[in-house]
Structure 1
Amino acid sequence: MTLDTIRMDGFWGALLAAESVRGCGAVLHGPGGCRSMLDGESSRFIIRRFAIDEGPFYFNQPRIPCTYLDEEDYINGADYKLSDLLSTMSEEVAFVVQSPGTSLIGDYINGAAHRSNFQGTVIVQKENHMSEPFHIGYDAATSELVDRLCVQKDRKTSKVIVLGIPISMDGWEETVSELDSYIAAMELEAVFVGSGCSVQDIVNSGDASICITVLPEYCTRTSEAYLRHGIPTINGGIPIGFDGTSRWIENLAKAVGADPDRALEILNRSSERASTILRSAMTSGLAMRCATYSMDLDSIATLPLAKWLYEYLAMFPEEIAVMPWWDKDYLDEFKEFLTGIRSESALVDGLTPKRCDVMFAGGQSAALMRKNDVCSVDIAVLGPSTHLLRFVGRPFLGAKGAMLMLDRMFELRERD
């Protein structure tokens, strides 16, 4: 029997991608049940001005208004409800996502938008991504925003677009801040598309010279959208751990002809601090060597994280859940790495789960594993957090992520 992890899907991904852009409001054309959790999740993922919105489309919840279709609407059509909803909005852009059932009605969405009093731009999602991986919907929605909004301009060799940091990732703001500090240290200008940027940021991003990825699965289509504007994308590698972040900085610097030294100097401050703490602790600093871990991450960040844990702490995998969307080349590379450390049996279709020292998974899944004594330490990566309100971000990327993971592992290890 394997663990069946509950994950956010592509339907959620599309709506939250639209919410990630300041000045853009996601709109749900469908029944209220599809909205019941999304409006709250949007408020937790990205902070905006608080206001109570009343009326039949909001019910005091200001995020992701919904048309609240009923049974008669599925028979007679409900585009009039969408017109009325759009007339209540003041955002620059409305991104309309239809629920799977609503998309079968055949409502004339563009006509509804035209008949409304909405003064901004309406973008209607081209396809529904329910039951697909979360990153598919997130990437698709972001790419549609770029296709519709981005204006091609003369290139600025110093401007860089950073793609692939979803707002669903705990600590995404800290990751944006850290990577932006490296880019600024190289005397470059960055725009983080799909990660809290504004509508105008996307409009003006057409003058960038290059895009660089962070989590590539979140920006495949978006990269293609920018290529249609003549802006290529480089894969900088996933900035996990100190070495991975260093390679990300160096890859960007090489692509644009910048000097990475100042950025690497900033990174090395964290790296040297971590090394000093581990070495000066003597035997306590060896506490995690040869410890075991398990992973259930819906991301290709799984392999670089596994490599960092082995190279930095000599940790070995107990179980690593394989995602059905990983391609053959990625799996072959993963198997080669695991064979090299004599852990080739760690790849499994789903966690059993076996007892391990550290569990890397979505926050709720990881916490459940620790509660059930499946692991000693639970570290939330990507998936839904256990925090109802986020006051402090908990990143796993970059130097901040490496320091946080180290802190969590040694904190709970000492207590146990």
Structure 2
Amino acid sequence: MIESTLPNILPDAFSGALFALEGIKDSLVVLNGPTGCKFYHAAVSGDQLIRGFSYDPVTNPERYYFRQNRIPCTFLDDHDFVYGATKKLEAILEFIRNDQFEYLAIVNSPGAALIGDDLESFFRNAYPDMPGITIENTGFSEAFSKGYSDTFLKILQSIKPVGELVKEKKTVNLLGVSIYHKYFEGDILEMKRLLNLCGIKVKTSMLAGDSTEQLSRFTEAELNIVLQPEYGKRAAQWMEKEFGIPYIEMETGMCIGFDACENFLQEVCNCLLCDVSPAIKDVMHARARAFANLYSFNSLTGLPKGAYFSIKAEASMAYAFTHFMHSYLGMIPEKIEFIPADRNGDYEEKLNRFLEANGLRNSIGKLENIELSSLVLADANTIAQVQLTRNSLFGIEISLPSFGYVHVLPKTFIGSNGSLYLLEQLLNGLKFVS
């Protein structure tokens, strides 16, 4: 039974800080801590954002890198926790001089944060002119998005804007997508595609694979677009205050579903005085394709209307999925479990109001012993856990960690293409369990 299994371990603020920094294409992140804090983060970063092709362990140094090509580590042991990590910090900063990077960060693991080493002094003694930051305390066991948001602000404050602070017409920054988002690459590509149809250029997709030079041009954008508020809203508010760049966030939390996509595009184009009609036409074509497949599937099975589903996600993502699946497809949420996150509250309230208005007030709760759901949208660990109690249940991965499927083509759940991909997953899942 699910009660007899250990609870899933969720990534915390430490992971959020590392993945924010790893989202800069030409960054190098030095971890001051034991090797156990390094391996998962280096592996995920290498899988999500391919920045080199030296993945053969033999070609990567055994010392500091430990046969991985990301996040060199000081490999602290019990002696260092007592006497400090001075020698290892000086040695690793000298060792990385031959590496190619334009932005440097030194981050303490939670345990190393207790030692008290002055990371800033080590950084500036070794690299006095290098852009970068040090983080002595990432937040310990606070939410992943809190560590990400805090680090996002530090990165912005450390990057000197290039050129004059002059806004380029019809340009935007994309905020709120980290490389720990399962389909971050596809999310960015879909947003760029839809905005390009409206004549809008993306200046930078912040901390989602752009270089330091690209990030340094964030002040040139006319508008900031927050794709997921838990990850991007604080940075957007700071940029509005410091540089006068307004921002928008989606009413439904994320751009999932046709209605959400149309409303988002209309709002952006109203702000930038652009023609939205080419993008709306794209969404209409997607709607037509969706209808044809839904009509065929429904005529044979009566589904997806009336089918139960459960979700585990941050509030803005849970709200977006639930809104689309209930309002557009007529599906019924059995259980919705929130992942703790920075600024979850607004969307928890929105989702509660939506559920209340639709007679679904008892849907909020943990995914334990669900009885009615045919589909579970969650990370792979949660899907595997709930499948222990029910074999006839199909899982759709919407976040990491994953089951390890290799995605060669970029995928997304946002925008018009993302709505179609989500529909594909839902229909095939219902076909599998019905």
Superposition TM-score, scaled by structure 1 size: 0.93
CA contact (8 A) 1:79 1:108 kept: no
Name the CA distance, whole Å, in 1 between partners of 2:10 and 2:407. 20
Name the CA distance, whole Å, in 2 between partners of 1:193 and 1:230. 17
Given the alignment, which residue of 247, 250, 274 partners 1:233? 247
Q: Cα distance, 1:282 vs. partner? A: 5.1
* 1:116-174 alpha-carbon deviations (Å, 9 max, x no partner): 26873231126412311111112222221111114162111222011011211222111
How much identity, in percent, do the aligned residues show?
Answer: 24
* 1:198 has 2:211 as partner: yes
Which stretches of structure 1, 4 residues or more, deviate above 6 A after TM superposition? none
Letter in 2 for 1:47: I
Correspondence for 2:28:
25
Letter in 2 for 1:316: I
Name the CA distance, whole Å, in 2 between partners of 1:23 and 1:56. 21
* Cα pair distance change 1:101/1:283, threshold 3 Å: same
Name the CA distance, whole Å, in 2 between partners of 1:249 and 1:415. 34
Q: CA RMSD in A?
A: 2.2
Q: Which of 71-80 and 215-224 deviates more? A: 71-80
Q: Cα distance, 1:41 vs. partner? A: 1.1
Name the CA distance, whole Å, in 2 between partners of 1:140 and 1:298. 17
Partner SS for 2:395: strand
Partner SS for 1:287: coil
Given the alignment, which residue of 156, 165, 168 partners 2:177? 165
Name the CA distance, whole Å, in 2 between partners of 1:196 and 1:375. 38
Extract unaligned runs of 5+ from structure 2: none
Name the CA distance, whole Å, in 1 between partners of 2:313 and 2:105. 28
* 1:353-395 alpha-carbon deviations (Å, 9 max, x no partner): 3121110111232244335426522111123111164434443
* 1:212 has 2:263 as partner: no
Q: Cα distance, 1:38 vs. partner? A: 1.4
Given the alignment, which residue of 330, 333, 339 partners 2:350? 333
Partner SS for 1:94: strand
* Cα pair distance change 1:324/1:17, threshold 3 Å: closer
Name the CA distance, whole Å, in 1 between partners of 2:346 and 2:245. 26
Q: Which of 386-395 and 87-96 deviates more? A: 386-395
Given the alignment, which residue of 144, 147, 156 partners 1:137? 147
Correspondence for 2:72:
65
Correspondence for 2:167:
155
CA contact (8 A) 1:44 1:388 kept: no
* Cα pair distance change 1:282/1:58, threshold 3 Å: closer
Correspondence for 1:284:
300
* 1:168-218 alpha-carbon deviations (Å, 9 max, x no partner): 122211111111011111212102112111111111111111101111110
* 1:110 has 2:132 as partner: no
Name the CA distance, whole Å, in 2 between partners of 1:302 and 1:181. 24
Q: Cα distance, 1:220 vs. partner? A: 2.7
CA contact (8 A) 1:150 1:206 kept: no
Partner SS for 2:169: strand
Name the CA distance, whole Å, in 1 between partners of 2:88 and 2:281. 56
Letter in 2 for 1:379: I
* Cα pair distance change 1:275/1:120, threshold 3 Å: same
For this pair of structures, how many residues does the alignment match? 415
Name the CA distance, whole Å, in 1 between partners of 2:216 and 2:322. 38
Correspondence for 1:75:
82
